[in-house]
């Protein structure tokens, strides 16, 4: 049963801006009930999954772990949860991934220790804890209560909330804790390597209270007025959504950007007070998986490439299947006019497959037309 101090703590967690995804296996089940029973849970909990069976855990992890109940597995679950929280959260919100796995008292006596492992991942910290419980001291329900208390305290700490209670652990059950802190460079290195899926640099102004993103992707080398105006026009057409620029650290045809290159380009957005997302996905069908429900702002030249079977191994069916996959995520493409082979063209100038017509929305030329490109700017500057 939840007491007053615990309720107060959960209220403080729900009042914090942190949004979390929780993956819990083998215990700490009461913590979910406590979190969800206090008003405001939707401010904190983006998703909670209990991969209880072996097959469920294997599908979540994408492999058979060396040990299902281990610190390594809890850490991997926390990183997966963190990446999922990035995808589900509002742009710029601090996010938290929680991984828990345990081997608690069961109907049949266990040969090994009763224990649990907990890990939390935030943008700048990975924390892992191992707790070995005294065998025979508690019932299964009591062990679940203790692990739930411990989990709640860890979430509070990650939300920068001071816990008002301590889990009911004996001196011999002191946790074995390890903490790793990350700087910005390390976080970007993890992004380039694929460990985390993206990083948001939020604007200096308030982020709209919406999860839907309006995304203009590019290399932004350099960012120019055309980019800014295009995203502004696209946002007015959509009527609702958070305008974001998106830069992929990975290029399909060139080496990955370096950490210093990414930071230099991010400065451009900070100077004009705009939100930019750094991802590691160069392809739009992968971006659609990262940012479901988004509106991607592209030029007509990009739209032509998207529907050209040449880029799908000359397989028309593969092109159609790939773009229908984008459509299934709830994404759309807002298409602005661009010079294509020396001629200014808009969406209506192209023959779009019938199945994809509602995937593409035209930005009228009278609403937006700017022929300048980053390439031309670089040439004019002799870069």
DSSP readout, 96-119? Answer: EEEEEEEE---SS--SS-EEEEEE
* Terminal Cα distance for the chain, rounded: 66
Check: CB of residue 280 under 8 Å from CB of residue 250. Answer: yes
Extract the residue ranges of the chain whose pLDDT is less than 70: 1, 206-208, 371-383
Per DSSP, 176 falls in state E
Report pLDDT for 377: 41
Q: Look at the pTM and tell me if it is higher than 0.75.
A: yes
Please report, for the chain, how many H helices and E strands are present, in that order: 13, 15
- Distance in angstroms (rounded) separating the CA atoms of residues 27 and 13: 21
Angle, helices 54-61 vs 71-88, to 10°: value is 60
- Distance in angstroms (rounded) separating the CA atoms of residues 35 and 156: 11
Q: Per DSSP, what are the bridge partners of residue 362?
A: 335
Domains and CATH numbers, the chain: 4-181 (3.90.950.20), 186-380 (3.40.50.620)
CB atoms within 10 A of CB 251: 11
Report pLDDT for 383: 46
Report pLDDT for 222: 94
Report pLDDT for 382: 52
Phi-psi region of 381 (alpha: psi -120 to 50; beta: other; left: phi over 0): alpha
Query: What residues have CB less than 8 Å from 310, skipping those under 6 apart?
Result: none
What stretch of H or E contains 64? none
Report CA torsion sign: 171, 13, 292, 186: negative
C-alpha distances (whole Å) from 370 to each of 9, 300, 365, 366 are 53, 12, 9, 11
Check: CB of residue 96 under 8 Å from CB of residue 155. Answer: yes
Three-state secondary-structure class, residue 67: coil
Chain-centroid distance, C-alpha 368: 31
């Amino acid at each position: 049963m939840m007491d007053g101090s615990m309720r107060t703590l959960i209220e403080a967690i729900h009042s914090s801006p942190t949004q979390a995804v929780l993956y819990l296996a083998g215990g700490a089940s009461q913590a979910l009930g406590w979190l969800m029973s206090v008003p405001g849970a939707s401010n904190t909990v983006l998703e909670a999954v209990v991969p209880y069976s072996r097959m469920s855990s294997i599908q979540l992890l994408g492999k058979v772990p060396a040990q299902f109940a281990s610190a390594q597995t809890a850490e991997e679950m926390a990183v997966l949860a963190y990446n999922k929280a990035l995808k589900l959260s509002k742009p710029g919100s601090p996010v938290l991934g929680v991984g828990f796995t345990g081997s608690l008292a069961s109907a049949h006596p266990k040969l090994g220790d009763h224990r649990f492992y907990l890990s939390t991942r935030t943008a700048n910290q990975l924390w892992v804890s191992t707790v070995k419980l005294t065998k025979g001291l508690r019932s299964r329900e009591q062990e679940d209560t203790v692990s739930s208390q411990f989990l709640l305290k860890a979430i509070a700490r990650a939300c920068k909330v001071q816990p008002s209670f301590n889990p009911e652990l004996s001196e011999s059950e002191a946790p074995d804790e390890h903490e790793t802190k990350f700087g910005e460079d390390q976080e970007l290195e993890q992004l380039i390597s694929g460990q985390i899926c993206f990083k948001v640099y939020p604007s200096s102004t308030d982020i709209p209270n919406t999860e839907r993103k309006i995304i203009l992707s590019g290399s932004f080398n350099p960012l120019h007025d055309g980019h800014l105006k295009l995203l502004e026009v696209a946002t007015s057409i959509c009527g609702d959504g958070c305008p974001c620029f998106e830069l992929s650290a990975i290029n399909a045809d060139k080496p990955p950007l370096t950490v210093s290159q990414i930071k230099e380009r991010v400065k451009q957005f900070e100077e004009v007070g705009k939100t930019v997302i750094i991802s590691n996905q160069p392809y739009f069908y992968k971006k659609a998986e990262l940012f479901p429900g988004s509106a991607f702002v592209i030029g007509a030249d990009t739209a032509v490439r998207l529907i050209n079977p040449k880029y799908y191994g000359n397989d028309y069916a593969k092109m159609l299947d790939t773009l229908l996959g984008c459509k299934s995520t709830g994404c759309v493409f807002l298409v602005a006019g661009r010079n294509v082979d020396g001629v200014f063209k808009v969406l209506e100038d192209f023959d779009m497959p019938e199945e994809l017509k509602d995937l593409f929305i035209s930005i009228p030329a009278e609403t937006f037309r700017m022929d300048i490109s980053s390439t031309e700017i670089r040439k004019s500057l002799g870069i």
